[in-house]
Structure 1
């Protein structure tokens, strides 16, 4: 029999079915509408059965506004998440530390995990919020998304308990480091030891986001602009045994600054010390082989290196395959012998943990020893927790030699300014993958950008391009005999010699971190704090003083792409109440206007070598005023050409219209001529002569035509004629 469809959505329906009516009624009665009034679900008396109570609540919810039901559905989803699996264990951890005596007894008396989740959200919403933060941090930690891990590289750093974390001092320091106007709050929690992690401390830092606004449509039909600061969160976990700081936040800049502040304020790290060490661990090399070489180091001889443990997750976090061998065994042989039929499948999942046994002899005194290193894919290794400084240093040197780790070093202010022009080119690319040839042609070393985590090596192109008798042909690229080389084969399989693989390597772009790096540089140059990402192509930099006026300032990318530009224009139109603004374009040769907003290429404001200095506000003000004067003071219609394929149509009384392509430019130049020579209109056949089209509509995309017609172009005295819009009607 088919399951009956829920009347309220899957989440709210599950809450109604899975919890006692009295508890559901208590939850509903605690919910506030947008006007701050509480819901008023029907009372459930002692004589009411659970089924009767649920029927009454269902009838009440059916009578409620659909928007309220939608909000409740979202909250119900959170209740379900926190009532099962790791959400429930997160809630148990918070309850054990925050609830006292009677409150904890009430929590424990709830019939199941879902009821505990509902009860905590209803009675202690802030404790429920802390549990959500812990749950989110666990997911970020496992999936390595919105996540940064740092190593505390000085020996006296320790925190005995939560009393050792000065939360008020920490909040003040974070507020200052992030340049926030609103107060930062902190919630501290001790995390118990688990099978995968030693005991640690969690600090949930809640801070105000950038000032935002939205047009609020009132019931009587009017509207007001509603200003607000969204609440953001950074969850920090410190593990004393591993001397490791982990931070989860959507902002890379926030992760970097909060980890630095925590190390200084809580752990006593000197502010003048070198930056915190951030490492990434990559186990990709073990997809092909478990073999490890024994490097000949200056101070020590490596006598043995063997993989003794390998773990892989089979499709989900709950299914694991763990293989352990002795030092005398060879992991490669064991895998081939016992899981030969599934070896390729197992390796396709990728390994999540590798343990390596290492033997060594010191050259100075001949002392021999062995130790073991464990690495988890992402940002975790037990090397940092080794008490012996010699073994700790040797462990990291070996991991780097085998290509299993790399220190992460953010770009310095000098590097960011020096490479700013190139970073803009990278930021303006359409995809998230770029070939090594892009860096080679710009004279930029990709290795430095990899160490700054702006890009990551993804693999090698199989097909490349090469010159053959002054022609560019495709060649096949195969693995070369030495690292960093490829063998090239021509179109017919003929050998084409060895080449460096520099141009063939593909890199993935970390879009979020690249955007933050660029925005951080611009903010520093202009003294800006209020940065708001509107969509993937447009960022608001807040109001900025230009001359005697304040104008909205924006940063836009991909303006050469028509779809991206339409997305930017749509977003700008929704902010028309702020007035005409200035758009700094990442793209070269951008349009001169986007609606009433003036556009200038950001590159025009850089230094001659493409580096970022102090952006010239006077030049920005001069160009803004000049273009606004051109748009608002025109007495007759005109087409202003910028390049052979781009121009702006200016019509008195209308916003400037960007023209793309030779066809659109010729079309409107002809219509402008008609508007000024007294004829007022052009016959379609005459207008389209030599354009390869028989109708103006064919020169535009659907979105561009909807904007142009009938405001800027319309039919004339009959459908056989075309003319400019109403504002230029001279006939």
Structure 2
């Protein structure tokens, strides 16, 4: 007979096997919240010196926990994972650094008296939870730094390096300003914790600031013992981790929201560093190394006030498929790295085919005007966000280095796009956000009327590679064409599948860019948000659906949502299921980013956003009157209308309206055909339709086969059910539901 698998997770099992018995029991009983299930565990621990009794104690714990359901043990598994993460590798160091700064000598002695890292981690979790959480934040933030996945890094333009001690930061003033800048209400918790980070081999000494505050009020439904649902309200926690490195003049910020990252960075710079944000805003730099695919040489530019004698690239490193694989080529200043690469690696070498450059070294020989002294400036760029110029003590050298990088097209600095410009390009930005692909070409941006340089400086785009293949659709030529150089500046030649000339194309049209989805989304919400009387616009119900807040119409609050990709049938079906579960909020408005959309999404009226643009220089880019008119016009059908009907919005998209029920989005011709027949039968007074007639022409034998399992589960018994006789189906209306036996 096969052995039944235990519901215990691997982290819980390892904790039971490895932790000292007394601390193990403390860890198992240290709840994180009131809603955790009660699990009866032994109250006492055997003598720690009695190994047999301790082994029996561990076995007994496993037996007790094995009797519980797996979902009841999820909080325990999460707790065990957190404890073990700070008991191994760099987690141990992170915990020790924070404990040394946050606890008094007596508690530090108790912490150090624990026999091993796991016991020390458990002790901190049980007896110093706040310190444990700060150590977690430090540990995970350091991981982002080590793997170069830190969300954002900003540079502070300070004349002199300004050291900073964590204990001297005015946290009370910082909290007060953060409440104002982030719009945190007085009744919502907001705390700031600070830690000094010692220098390591990989990172200079720095200061860490951890900001924790409550998010927007949210709710979930809880099933009571009597079978009724009850809303449980809670505030999800938001956390921002900031690291300031004086020697680099750099502020690094980890947070979910790109707007929050920048705002916290600016507030910290102003309060903790005394930096003038208005006069010298934080600099957000990005380094584009794609130019080195075509050549490892750099031209000698002219910079006013300097004589540039020689420019060399003595070092280039690329990644090969995986980030762990790398190839580094280093030469001397007397060598031409381009010739060396071609001589030893071939004409079409790996530098032209690599996934990306991870490191470029540039050596510049120069002299200053009026100074006969020869100088050398070494610039090292690592990835897209890091450059050693940040740590140069000489401000003139830093300025020269950044000027050179701008001349070569390597450096692009963040520049906030003016609100008037954002309003002018709002429609094009909405269309860009509605795209399925996260990559866009220069030609597509030109067709939208968008300037890629401006969007890159504003943080909405990042440069990627350049297309090397184009699709040719001429009368006498079709297929993929290759790209070849052209004699005309700024142009390239397209060559057909058999070497035919297919004309010239502007080289800017072939440049590829990655859309910064988060920043673009936040930018659009900032322009729409003045419509909402209430709400912060951070309730992301789905990656393609956000609750902005609520509009006031006729004295009532109408939920306001922002959705994209409603032309995609899979997205539409998924969002419709989500919105039908939120029908308690009443008939709301869904602003659709695209022109193709259903009339309703769940119990909400869908309004194409670009049809409601405001005129003039209004605070909000959308017309409030137009939205109210659209909502009033679609409100009745959103509530189900007065008779069952199917309204088509396209050949593959329609909406089913049933009185008293939220509208249901139909995706695909088969779903539309099925419900058209059911609605027609209900209106004719003979609601039951034989399955053969119902499925005729669909290629399926049952209506269930026309829907995804999750969608079918949400509509069976709500919109469709079996008829009175076997082999029949019917549309569920209010009259039929009332006539059905209980």
**Deviation, structure 1 residue 423:** 1.6
Distance 1:184 1:651, change over 3 A: closer
Correspondent of 1:570 among 563, 577, 584: 577
Asked if 1:116 corresponds to 2:123, the answer is: no
What residue is the counterpart of 1:292 in the other structure? 298
Relative to 1, partners in 2 of residues 1:495 and 1:83: Cα closer, same or farther, differing over 3 Å?
same
Q: Offset of 1:330 from its aligned partner?
A: 5.4
TM-score, normalised to structure 1, is 0.87
Distance, in Å, in 2 between the alignment partners of 1:298 and 1:429 is 43
Distance across 2 between alignment mates of 1:434 and 1:422: 13
1:287-317 residue CA offsets vs partner (Å, 9 max, x unmatched): 6654333223333221122344556789999
Computed over aligned residues only, the root mean square deviation of the Cα atoms, in angstroms, reads 4.0
Find 2:559's aligned residue among 533, 552, 564. 552
Secondary structure of 2:106 counterpart: helix
Residue 586 (str. 1) matches residue 593 (str. 2):
yes
Per-residue CA deviation, residues 15-65 of structure 1 (Å, 9 max, x unaligned), is 233332233233224335635779754422446424532431341243133
Greater Cα shift, 528-537 or 473-482: 473-482
For the structure 1 residues 415 and 700, does the alpha-carbon distance in structure 2 shift closer, same or farther, using more than 3 Å as the test? Answer: farther
1:718 and 1:135 mapped to 2: Cα distance? 63
Q: Which one is further off, 626-635 or 352-361? A: 626-635
1:63 partnered with 2:67: no
The answer for the alignment partner of 1:25 in structure 2 is: 25
Cα distance in structure 2, aligned partners of 1:709 and 1:122: 48
**2:192 alignment partner, one of 186, 190, 206:** 186
- Distance of 2:353 and 2:96 partners within structure 1: 36
Matches of 1:709 and 1:46 in 2, distance apart? 59
Deviations 1:437-468 (A, max 9, x none): 32122222222222223222322333323453
Deviation at 1:714, TM superposition (A): 7.0
Is the Cα–Cα contact under 8 Å of residues 30 and 38 in structure 1 kept in the other structure? no
In the aligned structure 2, how far is the partner of 1:77 from the partner of 1:360? Answer: 55
Aligned partners of 1:346 and 1:488: how far apart in 2? 20
TM-fit CA distance, 1:147: 1.4
The CA distance in 1 between the partners of 2:142 and 2:116, in whole Å, is 23
Equivalent position to 1:261, from 259, 264, 267: 267
CA distance in 1: counterparts of 2:352 and 2:95, whole angstroms: 34
Local SS of the residue matching 1:102: helix
- Mapping of residues 327-366 of structure 1, within 5 Å: 327-328=333-334, 344=350, 348=354, 350-366=356-372
Does structure 1 residue 72 correspond to structure 2 residue 76?
A: yes
Aligned position for 1:504: 510
Residues 1:623 and 2:630 aligned together? yes
Aligned residues of 2:592 and 2:609 also touching (Cα < 8 A): yes
Question: What SS does structure 1 have at the residue aligned with 2:247?
Answer: coil
- 1:167-190 deviation line (CA, Å, top 9, x unaligned): 111111111111012232111111
1:103 correspondence with 2:107: yes
The counterpart of 1:150, out of the listed 127, 151, 154, is: 154
Distance in 1, matches of 2:87 and 2:159, equals 40
Cα distance in 2 for partners of 1:194, 1:257 equals 28
Distance 1:404 1:199 in 2: 28
C-alpha separation between the residues in 2 aligned to 1:321 and 1:488? 32
Shift of 1:235: 0.7
Query: Please, which runs of 5 or more residues in structure 2 have no aligned partner?
Result: none
**CA displacement at 1:244 relative to structure 2:** 1.1
Give unmatched runs, 5+ long, in structure 1.
Answer: none
* 1:483/1:375 CA distance change after superposition, 3 Å: farther
Alignment of 1:471-486 (within 5 A): 474-480=480-486, 484-486=490-492
Distance in 2, matches of 1:273 and 1:335, equals: 45
Q: For residues 335-414 of structure 1, what are the structure 2 equivalents within 5 Å?
A: 344=350, 348=354, 350-414=356-420
2:50 matched to 1:49?
yes
Confirm or deny that 1:273 pairs with 2:274: no
Q: 1:168 to 1:368 in 2, by over 3 A?
A: same
Give CA deviations for 1:660-709 in whole Å, capped at 9, x if unaligned. 567766776676566556777889999899x7879894995446677777
Distance 1:123 1:472, change over 3 A: same
Equivalent in the alignment of 1:245: 251
Q: 2 CA distance for matches of 1:149 and 1:466?
A: 41
C-alpha change, 1:608 and 1:488, in structure 2 (3 Å) is: farther
Residue in 2 that maps onto 1:602: 609
What is the CA-CA distance between 1:260 and the residue it aligns to? 0.8
* Counterpart residue number, 2:452: 446
TM-score computed with the length of structure 2 as normaliser = 0.86
- 2:381 counterpart SS class: strand
1:206 and 2:215 matched: no
In structure 2, C-alpha distance between the alignment counterparts of 1:600 and 1:79, rounded to whole Å: 49
Deviations 1:91-110 (A, max 9, x none): 22112222332322333333
